[in-house]
Amino acid sequence: MTSRIADVLIPLALDTAYSYAVPDGLAVEEGDVVQVPLANREVAGVVWGMRDGQGGNLKKVTAVIEAPNLSPKMRKFLDWIAWYTLAPKGSALAMGLKIPDPDRQEVARVGVKLAGPSPKRMTPARQKVMEVAQDGTVRLKSELAHAAGVSAGVVNGLIDEGVLETVTLLAEPVAEMPDPAFGHTALSDGQREAADTLVAAMGEEHAPVLLLEGVTGSGKTEVYFEAVAEAMQQGRQTLILMPEIALTAQFLDRFAARFGVKPATWHSGVTGRKRERLYTAIAANEVKVVAGARSALFLPYADLGLIIVDEEHETAYKQDDGVHYHARDMAVVRGKIENAPVVLASATPSIESRVNVERGRYRHVKLPERFGGRSMPQIRAVDLRKEAIPKGRWLSPTLVAAVEDTVARGEQALLFLNRRGYAPLTLCRSCAHRYECPNCSSWLVEHRFRRSLVCHHCGHVERTPHACVECGSVDSLVPCGPGVERIAEEASELFPDKRCIVLSSDFPGGTERLRAELAAIAAGEFDIVIGTQLVAKGHNFPLMTLVGVLDADIGLTSGDPRAAERTFQMLQQVTGRAGRGEKPGRALVQTWQPDHPVIAALISGDAERFYEEETRVREMAGLPPFGRLASLVVSAAEREAAETHARAMALVAEPPPGVTVLGPAEAPLALIRGRYRFRLLVKTEREVDLQAYLRSWMARCPKIRGNTRVSIDVDPQSFL
DNA sequence: AGCACGCCGACT
DNA sequence: GTCGGCGTGCTC
């Protein structure tokens, strides 16, 4: 006897869907979320396929869960991701499936309003509440208490006495409907033309990918907002992807200025009931625009009509644990599957996107100038071979004079050094002991504010010792080299009456305080900002007219094949912070190698030439974009680290046909969250077969298979 | 992700 | 002896 069988994919690290018999009378369709027995428990999964067959010895589907059905397009997308990243299908599903928690209580929103009678006993606190409530409108309990400046207890007391009455409120809408016609911003001719190109792309039969390139301050956001408006007019949904850090109040305000309301936002901080409601509302096409971090790519959009990837070159789009993926590239794939145009926006596009433009896969839309006639900052090198800096100082006389000048005019200066902490290396003066990380043999960085030594590689932290741990000498530790904290010390010595602030990712007080301080900087409450990468992105400081780069050469000598590109992008972004307000900006770049291609391109502003040359250099080195590159990340428990490492190295020595291992020959081990990791770079000749090659390769070494994770690092070729 | 199973060292 | 630590493997 045949029966209906459902192949159910369970959101665990399982690569195949499991088969369950469908009981008579239970309506089950492909894409449905169902509850099934697994081992000795019940789990949720998604019906990946339906078929007829002998289901007698199979376990049965328990129930259909009330959750949005996963569309065929969504399932195809998740299948593709699993194949492409070599991750188990179930792991891919886990990224795109949110099961409503049946235990979660709907939090009733209780409103209160004035009922009539005056309180029997009047107190000052009650008086304040009465004054606020006088207008008779309904307010949330907490809002009323807050507006009156009293605690909730006072309001509760008045409710008990019958002075205030409670009203049950409808749930707050998850997101408000943006209005495409709300506020038209005046666009420049260049912006208008670019916006028209994007809008025209929305009507094409085969949705294209467009690279929107425009210097910092050229108004890219306003340009792609026009495409967002078009999608809304067509009744379709838009996803705006951004690096987590860029989901700022500033961006949301700009969106609100154009569309009347803020967009729905999705990131790791959106949790609980809010997350569930947003998820279902997106699946029901009730939310038209989502601005989100990379995880927003896996939401079940009912009718996705446009994807924007803001700051497409950002490395934050790479997910480096679990399923390894690059959200920008996956966005291109999702756009292809949904037939939605994808706009990649950046002031400094990645090499792979440039190559895709060159090869005709992506279209190039360029915004040549800054908006409102503002000019790009003037950039000058300070040649450290010619200009002496006093011992123990890091700011050159030229830069010091420029800062002095700038702050004297009431403008702001940014001192950029991409190195957290006080000093990158600590030595003992007596015995020359170097403080190294016990786990991964990198130097421990002194953090003076926190009074500790920190490993920036694995996160190991120890108290800064008073006496040398090696020879016992007291007060013998010498900090070597500068970090931002040390620069802050120097700045406050040089400019004692100026207000300085240090910004780095280990900013005390977390994101909340960081946001507040960024706003304070924009409002002019500081004169000198000392910061790492963090300040290079996303924030607009209208009063900032000088950017000093303290050591432009950091990163240029590392072994990373993308070091030059990354450094160039970072320096271009950070120098672009200058002169975004009324007054023109300038940048001074301290360097030991003013003739290095990265520095020369930065000074001359000739990005095109730099990228051409960089592409050629890579081609000669056999690196992408002209091959397919994968980065094998292998992780193992401590006990097996040595053996796993040895086996992986044996694989490296004997790659299958078509695969080239670029190295390193001896991959260094790093301890991250209790597991040893190392990375290998692998390239294949052919365009499509990388996954097949790697799977067969790993299969030859079963011992490390379970511990091996493979991420595809760069791939400019295979999507279209 | 859970959970069982099996292998090792330290105890009521 | 056996309790419990973790590392490994399985779940239709």
pLDDT reported for residue A670: 66
Residues 587-646 of A with CB under 7 A from strand C: 637-640
Q: Name the residue among A510, A450, A512 with its Cα closest to residue A483.
A: A450
- The Cα–Cα gap between A653 and A286 comes to 54
Residue A692's identity, in one-letter code, is A
Rounded, the Å distance between the CA of A585 and C1' of C6 is 59
Distance CA A38, CA A172 (A): 37
Which 669-708 residues of chain A approach strand C with CB closer than 7 Å?
706
Q: How far is CA A109 from CA A66, A150, A221, A616, in A?
A: 24, 19, 36, 62
A480 is in an annotated binding site: no
- Distance from CA(A173) to C1'(C12), angstroms, rounded: 40
Considering only CA atoms, name the residue closest to the C1' of nucleotide C9.
A706
Q: Is the CB of A40 under 7 A from strand B?
A: yes
Shortest-distance nucleotide from A41 CA to C1':
B2
C1' nearest to CA of A94: which nucleotide? B1
Q: How far is the CA of A383 from the C1' of C5 (A)?
A: 60
Q: Cis omega (within 30 of 0) on the bond before A664? A: yes
Residues 6+ positions from A550 with CB-CB distance below 8 Å: A394, A395, A399, A415, A416, A417, A482, A487, A590
Euclidean distance between CA atoms A443 and A422, whole angstroms: 13
Opening angle at CA A613, ends A608 and A619, nearest 5: 130
Q: Could you write out the DSSP letters of every residue in A128-143?
A: HHHHHHTT---EEHHH
Residues 548-587 of A with CB under 7 A from strand B: none
Tell me which protein residue sits closest to nucleotide B1, measuring alpha carbon to C1'.
Answer: A12
Please report, rounded to whole angstroms, the spatial distance between the CA atom of protein residue A14 and the C1' atom of nucleotide C10.
Answer: 10
Q: Which nucleotides of C are covered by protein (CB under 7 A)?
A: 6-12
Distance A704 CA to C9 C1' (A): 14
Query: Which of chain B's bases lie under 7 Å from a protein CB?
Result: 1-4
Query: Which residue is nearest nucleotide C7, judged by alpha carbon to C1' distance?
Result: A637
Which residues in window 3-32 of A are less than 7 A from strand B by Cβ?
12-14
Q: Which residue, chain included where needed, has tokens 């949005």?
A: A68
What tokens does A405 get?
């000048």
The nucleotide minimizing the C1' distance to residue A20's CA is C12
Q: What global pTM score does this model have?
A: 0.83
In angstroms, the CA of A640 and the C1' of B8 are apart by 16
CA of A576 vs C1' of B6, distance in Å? 61
State the pLDDT at residue A634: 66
Q: Is A500 annotated as a binding residue?
A: no
- CA dist A260 and A263 (Å) reads 9
Strand B-proximal residues of A, range 139-198, CB below 7 A, are none
CA of A39 to C1' of B5 (A): 14
Q: Does residue A701 have a known ligand-binding role?
A: no
Å: A62 CA to C6 C1' = 34
Measured CA A642 to C1' B9 distance, in angstroms: 23
Q: How far apart are CA A433 and CA A469, in angstroms?
A: 9
Residues in chain A where the model's pLDDT stays below 70 = 1, 102-109, 116-117, 169-171, 245-247, 370-374, 439-441, 458, 538, 559-561, 621-644, 647, 663-680, 685-689, 697-720
CB of A99 nearer than 7 A to strand B: no
Paired tokens of A152: 């909730």
The pLDDT, as a whole number, for residue A246 is 60
Q: Which residue is the nearest neighbor of C10, CA to C1'?
A: A39
- CB of A39 nearer than 7 A to strand C: yes
The reply to whether the CB atom of residue A674 sits less than 7 A from any atom in nucleic acid chain B is no
Q: DSSP for A487-526, please give it.
A: HHHHHHHHSTTS-EEEE-TT-TTHHHHHHHHHHHHHTT--
Nearest nucleotide, C1' to the C-alpha of A636?
C7
The reply to whether A41 has its C-beta less than 7 Å from any atom of strand C is: no
Closest residue to C11 (CA to C1') is: A39
- Using the structure, give the distance in angstroms from the CA atom of A10 to the C1' atom of C11, rounded to a whole number: 10
Tell me the nt nearest to A43, Cα to C1'.
Answer: B1
For residue range A265-301, what is the model confidence (pLDDT) as tens digits? 999 888 888 899 999 999 999 999 999 999 999 999 9
Q: What does the pLDDT read at residue A715?
A: 45
pLDDT at A719: 35
> Are A487 and A505 a contacting pair, CB within 8 Å?
no
Q: What DSSP designation does A4 have?
A: E
Determine if strand C comes within 7 Å of the CB of A14.
yes
Residues with Cβ within 8 Å of A180's Cβ and at least 6 positions away in sequence, in order, are A228, A229, A230, A232, A233, A259
How far is Cα A428 from Cα A345, in angstroms, rounded to an integer? 48
Q: How far is the CA of A687 from the C1' of C9 (A)?
A: 35
What's the Å distance between residue A635 CA and nucleotide C1 C1'? 38
